[in-house]
Chain A
Amino acid sequence: MEVTNPAPMPPAERPQRVREIANSRKGLRGALMPILHAVQEELGFVAQTDVAVIADVLNLSVAEVHGVVTFYKDFRREPAGRTTVRICQAEACRSVGAEKLAEHAKRSTGVGFGETTYDGRLTVDEVFCLGNCALGPAVQIGDKLHGRVTPARLDALLGEAR
């Protein structure tokens, strides 16, 4: 079973849960990054309303937290599809056809990088290096790494992920 993104939480309960997550980690050095990771892991994304809660817990300005959330590509501002698929587009994978694989993914899912399929099942994105440079093209589905991914293999993996 691939790792999937969590189901959404009712908006009314969310601020309280975000506060709990932030409070449980505020003693860490440089606590903001671990908190943002934890919020996204549990709640699927970092909502704009979460930013104010986290800022309050850490005694930071909303602007500071907002700045961090938007700096890092990993932090999503809105829910992703049930499963996230990331296709490596860095040099080593390009040397073995990563660009063609990306075009194929676009055709077979109907969405481009950073977008989610109409059924909400898949979010497709690019990534620069998964550390599988000798077995490219590399694709990450949820947390699971796949190597030597041909277009046919990608279709099979996307089928399983859906």
Chain B
Amino acid sequence: MTTKVFVPRDAAARSVGADEVAERIAAAAKAKGLDVEVVRNGSRGMLWLEPLVEVETADGRVGYGPVAPEDVDGLVAAGMLDGVGDSVGAYLGLVEDLPWMKRQQRLTFARVGVIDPRSADDHAQYEGNAGLRKALSMTPAEVVEEVVDSGLRGRGGAGFPTGIKWRTVLGAESDQKFICCNADEGDSGTFADRMLIEGDPFTLIEGMTIAAHAVGATEGYVYLRSEYPDAISALNAAIVTARDRGWLGANILGSGLTFDLHVRVGAGAYICGEETSMLESLEGKRGMVRAKPPIPALEGLFGRPTVVNNVLSLATIPTILANGAATYAAYGMGRSLGTNVFQLGGNVARGGILETAFGITLGELVQDLGGGAASGRPVRAVQVGGPLGAYLPVEQFDLPMDYEAFAAAGAMVGHGGIVVFDETVDMSAMARFAFEFCAEESCGKCTPCRVGAVRGVETIDRIRNGEDRQKNLVLLDDLCDLMTDGSLCAMGGLTPLPVRSAVRHFGKDFGS
């Protein structure tokens, strides 16, 4: 009987040697005359264990990690390919029983790390397209209401109710409507979009197809950043396969629905993660932000009604349809319903992705699951929600991951990325970097962002140099007010968030 061995093809796993590990396992098995099939799955999300090798046994999948290429021969000699555990250093036991896995409720990421992302058969076998089949048996309006009832909010960061957006597009009259997936995941500390696309691309395609049915669109675009070459090839391959299977194109699954999907690659502009800037870029223009209104739901891509959703929002749609809005809405707290895919990065002992219901505390994520700082020093600060998210001190670790609780604390959940810093961090340098980044990445359309960011860098430099410290702190506050109120989009509007939170919580670093 063939033994299945799983070695992730995920870019993060490959970045620490997964390709070499896979090659060595295949070679070692061949040398020993063993019947082994090496499957290149997505990552389970336990990135500190990568490359994580899993061996299928009668009891389930047994893990070994991290496995360096040079460890492979020794591990195979010790019986890794039989799932044997004794006296092997990298042996982890059953992967599903690991604390990191047990703490999760995987809905959006249910198949990531489990299946071969290039295999349409795997997708189908693990209940793929169940959500699409259900949706196709319903009217568009019923699908939209199901999404509204699920409480799903935009996972890209803004948290706007997805169903409400869809309802607007459904109600708009037009000869042409579009579904656009925002996969321009430029926020540092976020990588869930990348891992989903690399680990289970058919689910994103399914979610977009459901959206097309729900609002009456025939054409979709995924705007994927150029920094993710592995994701680009994974998604392009999946789209070709999906067309072959009749999951895209004309008469999808025999329903009469026509929908096709195209990948457009970004070109290194962070601002194109802002939805209107992304639409401009998709139209082949400079990624300049548009003033709203009109909202994209009414006048989006090429002026047509357009659904713009993040990868995770769209990839969550299939499970909502397959299992019902009520099942999804049973997870979470307050108005933050369902699960979210949290990403732990930076200076953290155990980094990776973790999908769980809203309401888990920041401290549980960072300290209990993440294991604190990788350096072994105490954690000093975390930045939640990307470069435009607030810096929070350890004293706020009891905050629940919840859109409203974070907003009340002057922070934001954003795309769910958490970057950990140890006690060596200089927070005035991080505040300076926030302005520097905004100056570098501003599209330049509005003055508060374009000029404010540059003035911000200068003002923080004066504070750091001890020039008129109090006066300049007041000036900084005034500048932050102006950028918050006067910027056209979140780039300039939210840059004050990391700056102000750094001043508020880590005043010592600013000399006060």
In the complex, are the beta carbons of A72 and B268 less than 8 A apart? yes
A64 to B284, CA, bound (A): 10
Cross-interface CB contact of B230 among A37, A71, A145, cutoff 8 Å: A145
A29 to B180, CA, bound (A): 13
- Given A68-B286, A128-B188; A91-B433 close (CB under 8 Å): yes
Across-interface contacts of B417 in A (CB, < 8 A): 133
A95 to B221, CA, bound (A): 34
Residue with the highest number of chain B CB atoms closer than 10 Å, among A29, A92, A135: A92
Distance to closest chain B CB from A148 (angstroms): 6
Tell me if B344 is interfacial: C-beta within 8 Å of chain A: yes
In the complex, are the beta carbons of A92 and B189 less than 8 A apart? yes
Q: How many residues of A contact B (CB 8 A)?
A: 43
In the complex, are the beta carbons of B11 and A132 less than 8 A apart? yes
Chain B residues touching A, majority SS: mixed
Nearest residue (CB) in B for A91 is B188
Q: Report B198-251 residues with CB < 8 Å from chain A CB.
A: 221, 226-230
In the complex, are the beta carbons of B15 and A145 less than 8 A apart? yes
Cross-interface CB contact of A129 among B47, B186, B351, B420, cutoff 8 Å: B186
Nearest residue (CB) in A for B231 is A131
Tell me if A136 is interfacial: C-beta within 8 Å of chain B: yes
Across-interface contacts of B420 in A (CB, < 8 A): 95
B residues neighboring A (CB under 8 Å): 11-12, 14-16, 47-48, 50, 185-191, 194, 221, 226-230, 262, 264-270, 281-287, 302, 343-348, 351-352, 374-375, 383, 387, 417, 419-422, 425, 430, 433, 437, 440-441
A73 to B186, CA, bound (A): 13
In the complex, are the beta carbons of B268 and A91 less than 8 A apart? no
In the complex, are the beta carbons of A96 and B186 less than 8 A apart? no
- Given A37-B265, A96-B374; A133-B229 close (CB under 8 Å): no
Across-interface contacts of A72 in B (CB, < 8 A): 266-269, 287
Q: Report A2-16 residues with CB < 8 Å from chain B CB.
A: none
Distance to closest chain B CB from A143 (angstroms): 4
Cross-interface CB contact of A36 among B267, B345, B375, cutoff 8 Å: B267
A160 to B422, CA, bound (A): 33
In the complex, are the beta carbons of A134 and B264 less than 8 A apart? no
Across-interface contacts of B421 in A (CB, < 8 A): 95
